[in-house]
Amino acid sequence: MCGISGLANWGNREILARMTAVQRHRGPNDSGLWDHRSPDGSYMGLGSRRLSILDLSAGGRMPMSNEDGNVWITYNGEIYNARTLRRELEAKGHQFKSHSDTEVIVHLYEEEGADCVRRLNGMFAFAICDLREARPLLFMARDHFGVKPFYYVCRNGSLAFASEAKALLEVPGVEAKIDIQALDQYLTFLWVPDPKTLFEGILKLPAGYSAVYRDGELRISQYWDLSFPPAGEEFRFSEDALVHEVRERFQHSIEQQMVSDVPVGAFLSAGLDSSSIVAMMNRTAKKPLRTYTITFPEKYRKGESTLDDPRVPARLAQELGCENQQIMVEPDVATLLPKLCWHMDEPTADPAIIAAYLVCREASRDVTVLLSGVGGDELFAGYRKYAAHYWAEAYTKIPKPLRQIAKSAIDSVPNLRGSSLKGPLRLAKKMLGSAALSPRERFVGNCTYLNFIQRASLYSNDLRNREPDCEHVAAFEKVSHADFLNQMLYLDTKIFMTSLNLNYNDKMSMACSVEVRVPFLDRELAEFVAWNVPPRMKLKGFFSPTTKDIFRKAMRGVLPAEVLRQPKAGFAAPTDYWLANELKEMTDDLLTDSRTRSRGLFSAEAVQKLIREHRSGKRDWSMQIWQLLTLELWTQNFVDGASGASTHESMRAAIA
């Protein structure tokens, strides 16, 4: 696990060193630089910060080359089928000098070129400089699901790339400017969908894509995508056979992802996904497994139905004989939030980043690798918004006058702060507000936090009447043939999971120099489930549907009934409480009329109205206020650098 960086016809070794140094937290164990200048004057350089996981010796140092020194790689990730590939490559005559998976990629590229990515099962972002021909080329790739990040800037025939966007700000000519179109997406979803970022000109290589740079030209192509059978397809496996296959394939993924030369542990919540991972890990662990559970003080839990009950994972850990550490989250949020906004690179208005950071920070004292349940909900249909689609379909059959009465009644209910009904009420308001839309528009609407009209009213006069831009439309078209549940799963896998969940899991774990692995996103497991599990076995029932039905059945006998019955609980945080207490002063300070006007993005009156309505209990604007707060901190961290108000330089100096 590492931080990578690179330059092509841009900058020099000193710039490359600065790009690499700013990512020190991603790899505190070692660092390396390699660069090459061709006779024609063209320049290429690769940088690496290394977090040692496999082959802790100097043999695993990067950038790494083949035997001839004409193919060089910088790489971030883990390849879980590396041993199988290595045996195959050795049989073909390739010589290895280390036990690292990095070298497997080098030799696989020598053997198969750009098609090497089709053979890899794991998480990765890498760049290979190929000097075997007269004109050097760079081959770059990002893993199938986008577990590992890859940011780049390509301008005037020059290229720069890195694991984190902040490293690109070290390159001369790359400035932190706001992409206004991406800002609209941020206000819509709380984050910016790939391939855009809020930095103008800084993009992300999409998940499942590779790129070739040669002679000043960058060509990007898709090498893999998750696909589904047509709607109405007859499935060949019986339910009993699927239960067996899902359990065995999941177990295989766990076993592959436990391979490590450093200590391995796992997140453990009250939920099905992390509990299943821990139970399966425990079957092969040679000593008591270390697990880590986030819990909140009672004052935080009031009215937050999404916060896990810590007693459930505690009982499971005791039953399995695990060493469970419960981490009480009571941070100084006002101090912590600016730091985490810097580590995130992109403004991400999900308070779960705080819990993710704190659990990784505590776990880093004992382990270097953690297994996470990210991906289970997208694979097996675990979110309640999928059921909400079918509820809305039934709701549209009610006479329109009655629907209008119901909507008016629900809209008039205040936000119920401090009540466990706050979450269900928010879902009901969204569902009723979008019920009359088409299924696609409804699903996207239920994923948004500010609709087009609300965003327009928030913008300053200069930014109003912007055309909405949404990656979801193109994604829907790719799977329009599939059952609508699978269409929703595809969108969440390709957009929501990659741009939000995987992004913050990577950034928060790497901030603590910890590697997070995601067994549900084993490529072969995901492909099997997509093509062989009928939608009715993912989401079963209507009024009170069973989510992840086939996976729950696969875990019978593995997990106690208490865990199998647990309702969905997100990796959440007490946003309302923090805004009303620890972050109240920060909110008043950062979102003042004068500061808002000086930014020129939003109407100061509209911002203050959100704050007033939220504090009075009239509306629940907690996530929207968190959005604006996060955006202001991001702007101070990066955009204000020219005026000296940014913390970017001080942060960089602190980790250098």
Q: Which of 2, 116, 341, 360 is catalytic?
A: 2
Q: 266 pairs with which residues across the strands?
A: 291, 371
Pick from 553, 546, 550, 547: which is nearest to 528 by CA? 550
> Torsions phi, psi of 213, nearest 5?
-115, 125
Give me 261's structure tokens. 């030369």
Task: Give CA torsion, residues 199, 202, 206, 207, to 10 deg.
Answer: -80
Give me 32's structure tokens. 């390396």
Q: DSSP for 246-304?
A: HHHHHHHHHHHHT--SS-EEEE--SSHHHHHHHHHHHHH-SSPPEEEEEE--HHHHTT-
3-state helix, strand, coil in the chain (%, to 5): 50, 15, 35
Query: Tokens 């203050």 map to which residue?
Result: 608
Residue 112: CB atoms within 10 Å: 13
Burial zone of 421 (CB within 10 Å; 0-12 exposed, 13-18 middle, 19+ buried): middle
For 496: left if phi > 0, alpha if psi spans -120 to 50, otherwise beta; the answer is alpha
Give me 502's structure tokens. 């995987």
Task: Give CA torsion, residues 327, 333, 336, 339, to 10 deg.
Answer: 130
DSSP 178: B
Interhelix angle 484-491/471-478, rounded to 10 degrees, is: 130
Max CA pair span of the chain: 77
Pick from 65, 107, 56: which is nearest to 86 by CA? 107
Return all residues near 271 (Cβ < 8 A) that are at least 6 apart: 308, 373, 566, 568, 569
Pick from 379, 337, 327: which is nearest to 647 by CA? 337
Alpha-carbon distance 362 to 344, whole Å? 19
Q: Is 201 helix (H, G, I), strand (E, B) or coil?
A: coil
CB 608, CB 593: distance < 8 Å: yes
Burial zone of 153 (CB within 10 Å; 0-12 exposed, 13-18 middle, 19+ buried): buried
Q: 325 pairs with which residues across the strands?
A: 292
Is 322 a known active-site residue? Answer: no
- Just list the catalytic residues: 2
